[in-house]
Structure 1
Amino acid sequence: MNKRIYETLELSRVKQMVAQYLQTAQGEEELESLVPSIDEVVINNWLNETADGLKVQRLRGGIPIPKIENIRPQMKRIEIGADLNGVELAQIARVLSTTGQVKKFIADLIDSEIEFLRLYNWAEQLATMPELTRRLQTAIDEDGYVTDEASPELKIIRNNIRRSEQTIREQLDAILRGNNARYLSDTIITMRNDRYVIPVKQEYRSVFGGVVHDQSSSGQTLFIEPKQIVDSNNRLRQHQINERQEVERILSELSAELVPYQKEIIHNAYVLGKFDLMNAKARFGKELKAVVPTISPENHVYFKQARHPLIDQTVVVANDIMIGKDFQAVVITGPNTGGKTITLKTLGLLQLMGQSGLPIPAGEESQMGIFHEIFADIGDEQSIEQSLSTFSSHMTNIVTILDQVDEHSLVLFDELGAGTDPQEGAALAIAILDALGAKLAYVMATTHYPELKVYGYNRSNTINASMEFDVDTLSPTYRLLIGVPGRSNAFEISKRLGLDTHIITAAKQIMDGESQDLNEMIADLENRRKMTETEYLEIRHYVDEAAKLQQELKDAYSYFFEEREKELEKAKKQANTIVEEAKEEAEVIISDLRKKQLAAGQAQVKEHELIDARSKLDNLHQKEDNHLKKNKILQKAKQAKKLKVGDEVLVASYGQRGILIKKMGDNNWQVQLGILKMTLPESELQTVAPTKEPVQRVVSTIRSDNNSHVATQLDLRGKRYEEALNEVDQYLDAAILAGYPQVTIVHGKGTGALRQGITDYLKSHRSVKSFEFAPPNQGGNGATIVKFK
């Protein structure tokens, strides 16, 4: 792409805004070399990296990248056998330590199952060298100082240096505090030529002997190394030489250790630079509330609520800018200072930013195209050196553009055809737009010529646009109006400013009729636009409400199925628990039968014992709803529907016949069973043919048959009060028919309400002889033993 467009649209200033967030020299190089691409794959990768950077910024505050210098010169020196100093090694150590930190950071993102488009691909290219990193960090601190831990020898040497310095200071302190202090210019210890000295008055130089290393500017003070510390200073100096030699040896050794890993280290720095640029783009995007646009396969550009990035974001007016889908040329008309030029620059600059992989200051769902070239003729380019007028300068530029433009080009014209006779300028502008249209180029042009308003209205793939102007405030609103050409507001402005109405009327009469009609047409279009905008906002409100309601319904629907699945799962677990409990009880019953069989020897187990065991097994069955046609309960229910007073029925639970006396409620009947009257549910009754058997024989059958069906104990724990009393009533009648002398009713202790209700009921029952609480080992006052007459 031509480099001139970068300067015209000020892409470099946008890159400077991104640069302020960079931390690494490699990142700065990456940004410096960044230019818009025309390769869709490359652009898509860049935008995906920007999206990843924004995601990391939002979730974790960005990738942890510290300040890193350019290490390529150092690695080049290692390659040719040179040794690095401490600062240079510290810079390389920072690259290696940062590599480890970033790898750990990204491993945490992987463990959190956060998806990224490109981040993990770059992370896989980082090579960690833990041993080398540890060695460098141990030997070199962040400022490049070789630490005492770099080698055992260095540690010993530095300990010797410290002891020698301590000895020298003690000797000099003794001189400063002794009688010889009066010969000194000042009671301080200083250094000259890396040796410890004291300031002595010139006239007393012979008192201390030793070596004179320096004198003051006045010559009155000599800096003397007393003779008694010369040997100590010599020893210190030798230790310092040993230290320097050992440090040089360590630096040489560390430099040699880097040689096998130079390619990996350089690539690590390159990848960290990529991460640094991703961070910078994300922080830039966050600052401008920018988004990552999608790429339109059809090259349709639609920047929703687009803002120019170089204008203060608190005052800039956002506009929807579109081109390519319904029209390939946009003609913007309107007064000066209305924002036409900024609109042109916004379109071009955002497109350049998108093709550079940068986030753009626009709304979500914005989409960009891919242009091989973006041309612009913007501003006054009059050249004094070339003796070109404004018109000539513009025309020279336009000629160059027309020679290079094709269907993959975006062309931006500011004040097309200006600088010459209006009629000729308008004609040239129309001809230029036609030539660009023939080459299928995308064009956005601004103009003052009214002829171009008609051109935009009549030409296919071309649309008029304007910058809104508020006549009431006499100021532009900077809002772009697509589909409405700009109109002259001279009459309205003059009227607002107090110009005589007679003058305005005369001006209107002088004005060409066609121009007047055009202005009236534009005014009508503006009114229609405002009406449409109002209706759109109203419809938008209802659409938002409908979308909200639909989302609520979706959420409720999802919640319903979620809860249903939970309940089904809970029911299955409960069913499995019941089955397991039933199996365990069945095993106990079967085991008991086996024991009885073994105890009986050759004899058979008694019939009533088998019947009782079968009854217990039957009681394990859990009642359930079953809508199948063969279900016995449904069959009994159908039969029950046919019941009527006087029918003879078989009571299934007692195995005896009875006569229906009357219906009690919806699903219960009062049945005469011998001498007893019982209220039984319809599901227990089956119609049978009448029999002539004596009543006594029926009673006998009841007692022998029901002995195996009625338990000697009734458990009411967990039942409601009314339900419990109803069961007691039916149970006592069944127990009497079975011929039991006594039964046990288990009601539990609880609050005592159920126990008291059962006590009151037993007192009034005509067949109860007596009742009392069970012994302590059988439940105490939680159970009642009832004896019959």
Structure 2
Amino acid sequence: MNRRIFKVLEFNKIIDRLSSQAASSLGKEKAATLMPSTNLEEVINWQQETDQAAQVLRLKGNVPLGGIFNIKPSIKRTVIGGTLNPQECLDVASTIYGGKQIKLFIDNIEEPEMPIIRELTELIVPLNELERKIKSCIDDHGHVMDGASDKLRTIRTKIRTNESRVRDKLDSLTKTKSKMLSDAIVTIRNDRYVLPVKQEYRGAIGGIVHDQSASGVTLFIEPQAVVDLNNQLQEARVQERNEIERILRDVSQAIAADEAFLYQNVEALAQIDFIFARAKLGQLMKAAMPTMNDQGIIRMKQARHPLIDGEEVVPNDVEIGQSFTSIVITGPNTGGKTVTLKMVGLCTLMAQSGLQIPALDGCEMAVFNDVFADIGDEQSIEQSLSTFSSHMTNIVDILKHVDEQTLVLFDELGAGTDPQEGAALAMAILDEVVHRGARTIATTHYPELKAYGYNREGVINASVEFDVQTLRPTYRLLIGVPGRSNAFEIASRLGLEEPIITTAKSHIGTDSKSVENMIASLEDSRRAAERDYDEAAQVLAEAEDLKRDIENQWSEFESKREEMYKKAEQKAEKAVLKAREEAELIISELKTMKNSAAIKEHEWIEARKMLDEATPNLSNKQAKAQTSKVNESHSLQPGDEVMLLKLNRQGTITEKISEKEFQVQVGIMKVKVKRNELQFVKREEPLVQRPMATVKGAGYHVKPELDLRGERFDEALHRLEKYVDDALLAGYPRVSIIHGKGTGALRTGVQEFAKRHSKVSSYRAGEMNEGGSGVTVLEF
């Protein structure tokens, strides 16, 4: 991408703002070298990085990126054998600590998902041992501590002892020889303790002269009595410097040993700081992440120029690349045409650099191979070129590189020459750029271009709005409406007499009047459309409010209905429980009656009546539903399995009394049931089902149960074998063998017989209402 565009669109100012958001010199360095990418995948990845960082800022407010330094030069020096000073070592430790802090911060964030940033933090190696080694030797002020080594502690103890002895000796001299001193103090010259002695007492004090005052009146003399002590002190200080040098050399070697990890940490931290700087800039601009494409489509809602104060700039909707590929903007000076032009170009560069753009969510930007612009007065005095020549030189250069992957911005195309020729030239240049497929936005004053968009496919006119009442531009971009000159309206508002204006209008050609009238009509239509849009928006808002109210009421109704259903279910459960208890009582009484004596018909009727009364009452809706099921057109025959709806139990039809009444075997009980109280379940095929069978040679009817109670074991098994054969011939799907409980021998014999018999598919003990363990039910 050509670098000239960065200066024309002031992209360098965006870079400066970005750099100011970086927390470290590492981030600032990356920000300063930021360049737009022309690779779609790379741009999408950059935008995702910025968006993930922006989500963290929205949730957490800030990130801990303090204490990070560019330690690359220091690392390089240690690798080639150099020794770092204490502050450089401390910067290394601080950077290690800063890396651990940001790693911990990111690891503790559960939401949102930010795979790119997490991947970067995983590269940070917590070099705890190296950090501890540095911190154990150097304090927070950059001084090597006494505890850095035992030898250093001993040397410094010796230094403090010698300093104390020297001071004590000199303090005593200041007291005894105060008249000979210019001031009764102990001072230092050339790293040795001395006394300020008056010139005339030089011989009286004796010793080594290290310095004198500017006037020569005072000499700074090291008395002979402390020369040896000062020598010992200097020797100890030399030892201290050597030991400190050794300690720093040792620490530097440890830093060099972790060279690879430190470089890796620095690169990861630089990238993290850079990403968060981009997110902070987007937050500052109230920007949004654009969706990127390589089809040349730009769609921005309420976009603002990034470098204009948000309180002053007027947001505009801009769209290009889908329905049309070129926009020609007309309108008055200072109306905002150039600002719109620069905004589109600058936002494009920002988007291709991974920066969010100042527009509403849902914006879409394109990745171009190049962005070209011819904006402003670029007259070159040195080259003796006029404004027109300068623009033409630039345009000629642009036309050499234009293709379908470029964005071209022309400001005042064709200006600086004869209006008629300039307009013709402008239209020819636009035709060429449009023909090559480039995305183009051009501004112009020429009235000939106001109808350009109506005669060219893929081109649309636009204008910046002007308020005739206030005589000021509104800075609103109007797509599809060319601009009017408004000269007569402005002149009239400013007080020019009406006859003059009328005369001026008479000089305007018919074509010009038609164009102006057309534009005025378009503006009226636009205003009417905006009013209709506002009304429609209001109606839509009211409809949405009504929809929410209805949804809330429906939700409340559903909640109440669910509550009523629960109450009904609880009530029904209690009714069913009561019915079960009463049914158990009826069954118990039936067993007693059966065991005591033969059951009479009126007793059966009474028992059935009790069962009917024990059945819980169903709602009309349920009753109707069941009735509809009962009345299915299915003829019932003996042997059919049916459901007794009132008892909610399954049984087998043993006899068809009439078309509307059947005798049904339910366990050990036979009941007469009406047709509408029965529901067909299944029919055994292909066996022929009969309500009762008379076996040839047998002098009795085959019943669905066999009572073996009181029989001897052998006789009982003989009767069982014969009965099973007869039941099979009768076509029964199942029979009940009543053997009683007793010792359990007969039950065991019946079950062993059932296991051996090839026609018995399964057997089971009777249920409570079938006789329990005193009955075995055989299934064929």
Tell me which residue corresponds to 2:436. Answer: 439
Establish whether residue 272 from structure 1 lines up as the match of residue 272 from structure 2: no
Unaligned stretches of 5+ in structure 1?
A: 579-620, 636-789
* Pairwise CA distance, 1:147: 2.1
* Pairwise CA distance, 1:569: 12
Structure 2 counterpart of 1:195, from 180, 192, 195: 192
- 1:555-570 counterparts in 2 under 5 A? none
Describe the superposition over 1:509-551 as per-residue Cα deviations: whole angstroms up to 9, x where unpaired: 1100110111011111111111111111222233334445556
Cα distance 1:253–1:560, how it changes in 2: closer, same or farther (>3 A)?
A: farther
* Pairwise CA distance, 1:229: 2.5
AA aligned opposite 1:481: L
Cα distance 1:194–1:569, how it changes in 2: closer, same or farther (>3 A)?
A: farther
User: Does structure 2 conserve the Cα–Cα contact (< 8 Å) formed by 1:407 and 1:442?
Assistant: yes
Establish whether residue 181 from structure 1 lines up as the match of residue 178 from structure 2: yes
In the alignment, the residues of structure 1 paired with residue 360 and residue 401 of structure 2 have an alpha-carbon distance, to the nearest angstrom, of 33
AA aligned opposite 1:15: I
* Pairwise CA distance, 1:10: 0.7
Tell me which residue corresponds to 2:246. Answer: 249
Tell me which residue corresponds to 1:642. Answer: none
Describe the superposition over 1:256-275 as per-residue Cα deviations: whole angstroms up to 9, x where unpaired: 11222112211211111112
Tell me which residue corresponds to 1:528. Answer: 525
Deviates more, 1:131-140 or 1:509-518: 131-140
Tell me which residue corresponds to 1:107. Answer: 107
Cα distance 1:291–1:203, how it changes in 2: closer, same or farther (>3 A)?
A: same
AA aligned opposite 1:409: T
User: Does structure 2 conserve the Cα–Cα contact (< 8 Å) formed by 1:69 and 1:91?
Assistant: yes
Cα distance 1:203–1:563, how it changes in 2: closer, same or farther (>3 A)?
A: farther
In the alignment, the residues of structure 1 paired with residue 494 and residue 420 of structure 2 have an alpha-carbon distance, to the nearest angstrom, of 30
In the alignment, the residues of structure 2 paired with residue 548 and residue 92 of structure 1 have an alpha-carbon distance, to the nearest angstrom, of 60
AA aligned opposite 1:263: A
Tell me which residue corresponds to 1:118. Answer: 116
* Pairwise CA distance, 1:441: 0.9
Describe the superposition over 1:681-716 as per-residue Cα deviations: whole angstroms up to 9, x where unpaired: xxxxxxxxxxxxxxxxxxxxxxxxxxxxxxxxxxxx
Tell me which residue corresponds to 2:128. Answer: 130
User: Does structure 1 conserve the Cα–Cα contact (< 8 Å) formed by 2:99 and 2:265?
Assistant: yes
Tell me which residue corresponds to 2:672. Answer: none
* Pairwise CA distance, 1:131: 0.8
Establish whether residue 28 from structure 1 lines up as the match of residue 28 from structure 2: yes
Q: TM-score, normalised by structure 1?
A: 0.70
In the alignment, the residues of structure 2 paired with residue 569 and residue 34 of structure 1 have an alpha-carbon distance, to the nearest angstrom, of 65
In the alignment, the residues of structure 2 paired with residue 395 and residue 163 of structure 1 have an alpha-carbon distance, to the nearest angstrom, of 84
Identity %: 48
Tell me which residue corresponds to 2:675. Answer: none
Tell me which residue corresponds to 1:336. Answer: 333
In the alignment, the residues of structure 2 paired with residue 133 and residue 545 of structure 1 have an alpha-carbon distance, to the nearest angstrom, of 64
Cα distance 1:304–1:74, how it changes in 2: closer, same or farther (>3 A)?
A: same
Structure 2 counterpart of 1:318, from 315, 338, 354: 315
In the alignment, the residues of structure 2 paired with residue 202 and residue 540 of structure 1 have an alpha-carbon distance, to the nearest angstrom, of 99
* Pairwise CA distance, 1:340: 0.5
Q: Secondary structure at the match of 2:214?
A: coil
In the alignment, the residues of structure 1 paired with residue 18 and residue 3 of structure 2 have an alpha-carbon distance, to the nearest angstrom, of 19
Tell me which residue corresponds to 2:97. Answer: 97
In the alignment, the residues of structure 2 paired with residue 298 and residue 545 of structure 1 have an alpha-carbon distance, to the nearest angstrom, of 38
User: Does structure 2 conserve the Cα–Cα contact (< 8 Å) formed by 1:291 and 1:363?
Assistant: yes
Cα distance 1:125–1:377, how it changes in 2: closer, same or farther (>3 A)?
A: same
User: Does structure 2 conserve the Cα–Cα contact (< 8 Å) formed by 1:63 and 1:275?
Assistant: no
- 1:729-744 counterparts in 2 under 5 A? none
Cα distance 1:196–1:565, how it changes in 2: closer, same or farther (>3 A)?
A: farther
Q: TM-score, normalised by structure 2?
A: 0.71
In the alignment, the residues of structure 1 paired with residue 32 and residue 445 of structure 2 have an alpha-carbon distance, to the nearest angstrom, of 39
Cα distance 1:547–1:354, how it changes in 2: closer, same or farther (>3 A)?
A: farther
In the alignment, the residues of structure 2 paired with residue 549 and residue 227 of structure 1 have an alpha-carbon distance, to the nearest angstrom, of 104
AA aligned opposite 2:198: K
Cα distance 1:500–1:297, how it changes in 2: closer, same or farther (>3 A)?
A: same
In the alignment, the residues of structure 2 paired with residue 377 and residue 288 of structure 1 have an alpha-carbon distance, to the nearest angstrom, of 26
User: Does structure 1 conserve the Cα–Cα contact (< 8 Å) formed by 2:55 and 2:112?
Assistant: no
In the alignment, the residues of structure 2 paired with residue 417 and residue 476 of structure 1 have an alpha-carbon distance, to the nearest angstrom, of 23
In the alignment, the residues of structure 2 paired with residue 43 and residue 480 of structure 1 have an alpha-carbon distance, to the nearest angstrom, of 28
In the alignment, the residues of structure 1 paired with residue 78 and residue 395 of structure 2 have an alpha-carbon distance, to the nearest angstrom, of 54
Q: Alignment RMSD, CA only?
A: 3.1
AA aligned opposite 1:194: D
Tell me which residue corresponds to 1:295. Answer: 292
Tell me which residue corresponds to 1:352. Answer: 349
Tell me which residue corresponds to 2:774. Answer: none
Deviates more, 1:524-533 or 1:161-170: 161-170
Cα distance 1:535–1:141, how it changes in 2: closer, same or farther (>3 A)?
A: farther
- 1:270-669 counterparts in 2 under 5 A? 270-296=267-293, 298-547=295-544
AA aligned opposite 1:503: I
In the alignment, the residues of structure 2 paired with residue 520 and residue 457 of structure 1 have an alpha-carbon distance, to the nearest angstrom, of 15
AA aligned opposite 1:217: A
Cα distance 1:400–1:289, how it changes in 2: closer, same or farther (>3 A)?
A: same
User: Does structure 2 conserve the Cα–Cα contact (< 8 Å) formed by 1:344 and 1:444?
Assistant: yes
Aligned residues: 588
Describe the superposition over 1:696-751 as per-residue Cα deviations: whole angstroms up to 9, x where unpaired: xxxxxxxxxxxxxxxxxxxxxxxxxxxxxxxxxxxxxxxxxxxxxxxxxxxxxxxx
User: Does structure 2 conserve the Cα–Cα contact (< 8 Å) formed by 1:53 and 1:62?
Assistant: no
In the alignment, the residues of structure 2 paired with residue 135 and residue 454 of structure 1 have an alpha-carbon distance, to the nearest angstrom, of 77
Tell me which residue corresponds to 1:690. Answer: none
Structure 1 counterpart of 2:259, from 257, 262, 284: 262
AA aligned opposite 1:276: D
* Pairwise CA distance, 1:238: 1.9
* Pairwise CA distance, 1:501: 0.7
Tell me which residue corresponds to 1:85. Answer: 85
Q: Secondary structure at the match of 1:446?
A: strand
Q: Secondary structure at the match of 1:238?
A: helix
Structure 2 counterpart of 1:149, from 147, 151, 156: 147
* Pairwise CA distance, 1:379: 0.9
* Pairwise CA distance, 1:490: 0.6
Describe the superposition over 1:156-182 as per-residue Cα deviations: whole angstroms up to 9, x where unpaired: 322332233233333333333x23222
Cα distance 1:52–1:143, how it changes in 2: closer, same or farther (>3 A)?
A: farther
In the alignment, the residues of structure 1 paired with residue 568 and residue 178 of structure 2 have an alpha-carbon distance, to the nearest angstrom, of 101
* Pairwise CA distance, 1:331: 0.5
Describe the superposition over 1:428-457 as per-residue Cα deviations: whole angstroms up to 9, x where unpaired: 111111111111111100011111111112
In the alignment, the residues of structure 1 paired with residue 86 and residue 445 of structure 2 have an alpha-carbon distance, to the nearest angstrom, of 67
In the alignment, the residues of structure 1 paired with residue 555 and residue 256 of structure 2 have an alpha-carbon distance, to the nearest angstrom, of 61
In the alignment, the residues of structure 1 paired with residue 565 and residue 43 of structure 2 have an alpha-carbon distance, to the nearest angstrom, of 51
Q: Secondary structure at the match of 2:258?
A: helix
AA aligned opposite 2:451: V
In the alignment, the residues of structure 2 paired with residue 17 and residue 157 of structure 1 have an alpha-carbon distance, to the nearest angstrom, of 52
Tell me which residue corresponds to 1:56. Answer: 56
Cα distance 1:157–1:18, how it changes in 2: closer, same or farther (>3 A)?
A: same
User: Does structure 1 conserve the Cα–Cα contact (< 8 Å) formed by 2:47 and 2:354?
Assistant: yes
